[in-house]
Amino acid sequence: MSSKSSHRSDRQMPSSSASTSRNANGHPPVRSKVSPAKRSAVTNARASSSKADDEEPGRVRVAVRLRPRNAEDLLSDSDFADCVELQPEMKRLKLRKNNWNSDSYKFDEVFTESASQKRVYEVVAKPVVESVLNGYNGTVMAYGQTGTGKTYTVGRLGKEGTSERGIMVRALEDIISNTSPAFDVVEISYLQLYLESIQDLLAPEKNNIPIVEDPKTGGVSLPGATVIKIRDLDHFQHLLQIGETNRHAANTKMNTESSRSHAILMVFVQRPAQGKVENELSSQESECGSDLASGNGVPTLLKSKLLIVDLAGSERIDKSGSNGHLLEEAKFINLSLTSLGKCINALAEKSPHIPTRDSKLTRLLRDSFGGSSRTSLIITIGPSARHHAETASTIMFGQRAMKVVNMVKLKEEVDYESFCRKLENQVDYHTAEIEKLQKLRDDDKKEMEKKLTDCQNSFAEAEKTITARSDLLKDENTLLESEIRSLLEELKLQKERNDLMSATVAHLEMSLNQCKKNEVEDFTYQKALMDTTHMYEKKILELTGRLEDEHACAESAHEQLAIAKKLIEGQKEIDELRMKLQEMYQLHEKTVNEFQSLRTENEELLSEKIEGQKEIDELRMKSQEICLLHQKTVDEFQCMRTENEKLLSEKVTLSEELHMARQKLYAEEQQRQYLEAELVKSKKFVPDNDIDFEEKKPYMEENKGRATFGQRHKSSQSQETIYGQRTTITKICEEVGLQKILDLLRSEDLDVQIQALKVVANLAAEDLNQEKIVEEGGLDALLMLVGSSQNTTIQRVASGAIANLAMSETNQGLIMKKGGGRLLADVASRTDDPQTLRMVAGAFANLCGNERLHAMLKEDGSIKALMGMVKSGNSDVIAQVARGMANFSKCESRRIIEGQRKGRSLLIVEGVLTWLISNSTNCPPSTRRHIELALCHLAQNEDNAQDFISTGALKELICISNESSREDIRNLAKKTLKLSPTFQAKLQKV
């Protein structure tokens, strides 16, 4: 063990600071590098063990611990008193020499047998642990006879309970809790020294590990030993357990559990020096080492080492009863211990030679005794007098060890690694900064260059533009100057001219123009007026002529007298107006003449005016006069015109009235003519019996061409009259309006009613009018008249009109629906007038042609009424009745042939067969033909056959088949007879 100063930067602890405050064990306080919270725990522990009692800070502290009596002690020493007596309060121990004498020894601490593991740790080991945390090497070592509690004190794991934990566990607990895994490193190696061979307890295969000494520092290391970084206390306890298992323990007689090997726990603590940590942190944060040059930034590391040594027993070999291999073993054990004793002796006596190299133990503990380590030694003793010699030897060892003084030094090293890292960071940072700056400078330069080029370009352009513009402006200037000069000259000339061409001339000219315009207007107007007047005159003359004509016509009718009178009055008025107009015209003529003379004068003046400028004023005056005069004339003319307009409107009103009167007159005339024609017709009327029935033609088609009432005149002259009348009536209708004519049907005046009815009847003869008449309520009006009027003419004409309307299939339905059948039957029953009866019969005949109305006609009694009409004896009436029956039977037979009807004929039910037979003789040929046809058609229905037989109609049919004047009817009758089985059967019988 050497006190030589090493090459490492170990710094000696200043003795002055150490002397100011010491802990319980006399160790000087050491600075703590742990966090405030962790540091406080250490500080508290230190406070509890404070009391300076030694002036030498590096001296090895020695405490003695007495093991309680064990079972063996109690058994063998029951009669003896203890060989030691402890005075813990005085830190003294008395070793009994004999019954009378004892030697007293002072120690740094004396632990009685009842001392707790905790107190032992805090007094013996804790100051050393704190020292280690602060960067000093430290050693805690247990020395004593086997079985006195070295392992108990140092290596106990404390599985039974934490209070039983030994120094190793407690020391590591403190170290772990006072270091930070982020910055600090705690590592261990666990070895045993046995028979001068170092074995790795954490890797038992590693045996005989060599000790390497650094020639520079003189420090020892075991490069072959396993070093494990400690994560936490559990991890450490686990490793310790492994080591314990591996530890070879040889049993001895004295204590079967004790070990003959030295167990050495090495704890390496590495942490950044205090103050430097903060520096480093801040430097990392800023990424820029701010104060490198000052040297304050050089990071240092505290690299300290704690040795906890559980020595093998210090007893004599003979006493332990070892033999054979064990003897050899004991020699080696003692070699190391003897060597340690010698070294301590030498150190205690301050001998110049320390035999450190004699054993491996002394080599390993070189720094612990006489080195730079803070060292605590606990010596364990037993109470038994039997081991007095061993106890005394142990005490003496302790006493000598107390004299060893170490030079405690801070184990501080420059942390080259982190320093290098830091420097590299800084270099990187500065390089980046420089690059950044360089880039910025380059960018700036480029920008400036670009701006410069732009500026130069724009400058050149501006120069060009300015030059061009100045040239242009110069040119323009010259041009403008010359222009201005010429304009000024022109202006001057213009002004002179303008002065000459006075405003008066312009004014006069203007007024003259105005005059001319006025004259032209006057002339045009005059002409128009004259034209209008001429036209009116002509029209008036025309109207007068017409009025005279119509006046003559009007005299014929009584009703028109008043109107005619009025017309005469109107004529008078017109004459008067004409007179007035004549006068006006004369007046106007006069004015025109005057105006003409004035114009001539004006013209003269105008021609004169052109001759000389001097006469202009005169002319102007005259012109003004003319204008005034003209104005007056115009005003007068205006008045005349207004009057003329008034007259004209009066004339229009009068002519309208005249037109109306004419129309009325015309209508009257037409009616008169119609009446006359009617009269002629009624006289000349010859019924048309020659209605030609054709089998295949629909009945309505047949009717359309022929059976129109009121147009039956055969002669072409009469036809013409009728057509002329109809045209007239149509014209009346167009002018007056159908509705007005229909309204007249309801007139109070019987004559008017009759006349209107005649017009309607005539209109109804025309297919085109039929629909219109029905639409506008004509049918209703006619039915009303038929039903209500007692007047024969009305009944006749209305029936005729209905008969005409009944030509249309649509109207037939309407007539029946509106009760027309019944009304007509009623009329027939009431009148004897053959004309009326003919009309009614004609209407029925038309209705009979519509098969859908057959049932209704029967129910209405129309068929009965039709047959009853024969009583009049009028052949025309009979002809119509026969036509009706022919129509009826034809429709019926068609229905039967088509299979749409069955059963006896409705006509036969009504007794028509008898009627037909009785009326078949002595009738005109056309009536006869209707009867024949009716019989033929009825015979076609087999259901009628029996009636034919019973009534004798069959005979008539046979007669027709032979004698009918028409071949087609004869053939029809023959065919019918032939086809009917009943008739055939009857004929065969006959």
Residues near ligand ADP (CB under 6 A) are 67-68, 70, 113, 144, 146-152, 255, 257-258, 313, 380
**Paired sense of beta strands 61-66 and 374-381, if any:** parallel
Contacted entry of ligand ADP, Mg ion, none for residue 836, CB cut-off 5 to 8 Å set by kind: none
CB of 344 to ligand ADP, least distance (A): 19
CB of 312 to ligand ADP, least distance (A): 8
Q: Would you state the structure tokens that stand for residue 768, as one six-digit string?
A: 């085109």
CA dist 111 and 119 (Å) reads 9
Q: Which stretch, 84-92, 179-187, 250-258, 396-404, contacts Mg ion (CB under 5 A)?
A: 250-258
| DSSP 8-class letter at 323 | -
CB of 250 to Mg ion, least distance (A): 11
Integer CA distances (angstroms), 377 to 64, 121, 802, in order: 8, 12, 162
CB of 394 to ligand ADP, least distance (A): 10
Q: Specify the residue, 151 or 394, whose C-beta has the smaller distance to Mg ion.
A: 151
| DSSP 8-class letter at 8 | S
Q: Specify the residue, 72 or 187, whose C-beta has the smaller distance to ligand ADP.
A: 72
CA dist 141 and 182 (Å) reads 30
Q: Specify the residue, 85 or 232, whose C-beta has the smaller distance to ligand ADP.
A: 85
CB of 311 to ligand ADP, least distance (A): 9
Integer CA distances (angstroms), 66 to 9, 77, 111, 212, 940, in order: 41, 16, 6, 37, 167
Contacted entry of Mg ion, ligand ADP, none for residue 70, CB cut-off 5 to 8 Å set by kind: ligand ADP
Contacted entry of ligand ADP, Mg ion, none for residue 391, CB cut-off 5 to 8 Å set by kind: none
Contacted entry of ligand ADP, Mg ion, none for residue 255, CB cut-off 5 to 8 Å set by kind: ligand ADP
CB of 69 to ligand ADP, least distance (A): 9
CA dist 66 and 149 (Å) reads 8
Q: Specify the residue, 145 or 259, whose C-beta has the smaller distance to Mg ion.
A: 259
CA 471, 473, 476, 478 torsion: positive or negative?
negative
CB 286 within 8 A of CB 419: no
The size of the interface with Mg ion (CB under 5 A), counted in residues, is 4
Q: Specify the residue, 257 or 589, whose C-beta has the smaller distance to ligand ADP.
A: 257
CB of 151 to ligand ADP, least distance (A): 4
Residue 320 binds Mg ion (CB under 5 A): no
CB of 322 to ligand ADP, least distance (A): 14
CA dist 270 and 280 (Å) reads 16
Q: Specify the residue, 258 or 406, whose C-beta has the smaller distance to ligand ADP.
A: 258
Element containing residue 894 per DSSP (H, E): helix 875-897
DSSP states of 90-152: GTEEEEE-SSS-EEEEE-SEEE-TT--HHHHIIIIIHHHHHHHHTTB-EEEEEEESTTSSHHH
Q: Which residues of 67-87 are buried (b: 16+ CB within 10 A; e: fewer)?
A: bebeeebeeebeeeebbbebe
Q: Specify the residue, 255 or 339, whose C-beta has the smaller distance to ligand ADP.
A: 255
Element containing residue 272 per DSSP (H, E): strand 262-272
Contacted entry of ligand ADP, Mg ion, none for residue 68, CB cut-off 5 to 8 Å set by kind: ligand ADP
Q: Specify the residue, 156 or 366, whose C-beta has the smaller distance to ligand ADP.
A: 156
| Residue 309: strand pairing partners | 141, 264
How would you classify residue 91: left for phi > 0, otherwise alpha for psi between -120 and 50, otherwise beta?
Answer: left
Residue 258 binds Mg ion (CB under 5 A): yes
Contacted entry of ligand ADP, Mg ion, none for residue 636, CB cut-off 5 to 8 Å set by kind: none
CB of 232 to ligand ADP, least distance (A): 27
Crossing angle for the helix pair 967-979 and 925-939, to the nearest 10 degrees: 20
Residue for token pair 């008395």: 94
Contacted entry of Mg ion, ligand ADP, none for residue 862, CB cut-off 5 to 8 Å set by kind: none
Q: Specify the residue, 260 or 838, whose C-beta has the smaller distance to Mg ion.
A: 260
Contacted entry of ligand ADP, Mg ion, none for residue 889, CB cut-off 5 to 8 Å set by kind: none
Q: What is the largest CA-CA distance in the chain?
A: 209
Q: Specify the residue, 143 or 693, whose C-beta has the smaller distance to ligand ADP.
A: 143
Contacted entry of Mg ion, ligand ADP, none for residue 314, CB cut-off 5 to 8 Å set by kind: none
Residue 255 binds Mg ion (CB under 5 A): no
Q: Specify the residue, 156 or 360, whose C-beta has the smaller distance to ligand ADP.
A: 156
CB of 71 to ligand ADP, least distance (A): 10
| Contact string 137-156 vs Mg ion (x = CB under 5 A) | -------------xx-----
| Contact string 395-434 vs Mg ion (x = CB under 5 A) | ----------------------------------------
Q: Which stretch, 259-267, 363-371, 628-636, 686-694, contacts Mg ion (CB under 5 A)?
A: 259-267
CA dist 153 and 118 (Å) reads 10
CB 311 within 8 A of CB 142: yes
Integer CA distances (angstroms), 205 to 200, 353, 780, in order: 7, 36, 145
Q: Specify the residue, 67 or 854, whose C-beta has the smaller distance to ligand ADP.
A: 67
CA dist 371 and 575 (Å) reads 173
Residue closest to Mg ion (Cβ)? 151
Nearest-CA neighbor of 72 among 268, 295, 324, 256? 256
CB of 233 to Mg ion, least distance (A): 23
Q: Specify the residue, 265 or 931, whose C-beta has the smaller distance to ligand ADP.
A: 265
CB of 178 to ligand ADP, least distance (A): 27
Q: Specify the residue, 16 or 78, whose C-beta has the smaller distance to ligand ADP.
A: 78
Contacted entry of ligand ADP, Mg ion, none for residue 67, CB cut-off 5 to 8 Å set by kind: ligand ADP
Crossing angle for the helix pair 820-830 and 792-805, to the nearest 10 degrees: 140
Integer CA distances (angstroms), 658 to 4, 199, 543, 578, 648, in order: 168, 163, 9, 16, 15
CB of 117 to ligand ADP, least distance (A): 8
Nearest-CA neighbor of 344 among 330, 320, 365? 365
Crossing angle for the helix pair 616-684 and 503-554, to the nearest 10 degrees: 20
Residues forming contacts to Mg ion in the complex (CB under 5 A) are 150-151, 258-259
